[in-house]
Chain A
Amino acid sequence: KQEVTQIPAALSVPEGENLVLNCSFTDSAIYNLQWFRQDPGKGLTSLLLIQSSQREQTSGRLNASLDKSSGRSTLYIAASQPGDSATYLCALGADGLTFGKGTHLIIQP
């Protein structure tokens, strides 16, 4: 059974800092890995999708990497802004998405 762990569970940093969110998983038999953000009381917004055969994806200030051999993914956020405050979730795609519990991120103005 796939287990997904996200570290840290919560993070508070001042505006402008670069930061890294971590995701680890136990089963490398995946189709893809997705990073989402969730704002309070809202649904999920897809940020990046990395196919199983890929190593990283970039979108604007976001960069996500995937290392299947070590069972790890990282989400790098450059020059953080208060609008980046949200819960960030990684999800492994196989038969349905398996989610981590998320990292609750607060960017202090």
Chain B
Amino acid sequence: KAGVTQTPRYLIKTRGQQVTLSCSPISGHRSVSWYQQTPGQGLQFLFEYFSETQRNKGNFPGRFSGRQFSNSRSEMNVSTLELGDSALYLCASSLESRTEETQYFGPGTRLLVL
């Protein structure tokens, strides 16, 4: 069974630009969550999507948004990039329930903002 895949793996952007990252969950998984990892703040929860609806949201500004498609694939978008958005962005998938299930993480997209 294929794991969680993320594209692209690496990305370089300049301040003010916008970026879209993609995540394909494990087949059959309907929940996709996004996390930002930085050396200073560690891993922080961005948002979770389930059945094309945002189910939970972390404490990030509105420049960070996401969506989920009917095939459970998810994208996240960051508009008006800032230097501090440089990070490893990880997505994770699980079947349905947050209470009983392991989350499976993808390899991440490393974003560098210049």
Q: Across the interface, which residues of A come within 8 angstroms of B43, CB to CB?
A: 89, 91, 97, 99
Q: How many chain-B residues does the 8 Å CB contact rule pick out?
A: 25
Please tell me which one of the listed residues A44, A46, A49, A96 contacts residue B90 in the complex, with CB atoms under 8 A apart. Answer: A44
Q: Across the interface, which residues of B come within 8 angstroms of A49, CB to CB?
A: 101-102
Q: Report the minimum CB–CB distance from B105 to chain A (whole Å).
A: 4
**B75 on the A face (CB < 8 A):** no
Interface residues of B in 60-113 (CB under 8 A from A): 90, 92, 98-108, 110
Q: Report the minimum CB–CB distance from B54 to chain A (whole Å).
A: 11
Q: CB-nearest residue of chain A relative to B106? A: A43
Q: Across the interface, which residues of B come within 8 angstroms of A46, CB to CB?
A: 102-105
CB < 8 Å A-B pair total: 58
Task: Please report the C-alpha to C-alpha distance between residue A89 and residue B3 in the assembled complex, in whole angstroms.
Answer: 20
Q: How many chain-A residues does the 8 Å CB contact rule pick out?
A: 24
Please tell me which one of the listed residues B42, B58, B101, B107 contacts residue A96 in the complex, with CB atoms under 8 A apart. Answer: B58
Interface residues of A in 39-54 (CB under 8 A from B): 41-46, 49, 51-52
Given A31-B98, A31-B99, A93-B98, do A100 and B42 touch, yes or no (CB 8 Å)? yes
Please tell me which one of the listed residues B4, B103, B107, B108 contacts residue A97 in the complex, with CB atoms under 8 A apart. Answer: B103
Question: Which secondary structure characterizes the binding site on chain A?
Answer: strand
Q: Across the interface, which residues of A come within 8 angstroms of B44, CB to CB?
A: 99
B: which residues have CB within 8 A of A? 4, 33, 35, 42-45, 47-48, 56, 58, 90, 92, 98-108, 110
**9 chain-A/chain-B pairs, Cβ below 8 angstroms:** A31-B100, A32-B100, A36-B105, A42-B107, A43-B106, A49-B101, A51-B99, A97-B103, A99-B43
A: which residues have CB within 8 A of B? 31-32, 34, 36, 41-46, 49, 51-52, 89, 91, 93, 95-102
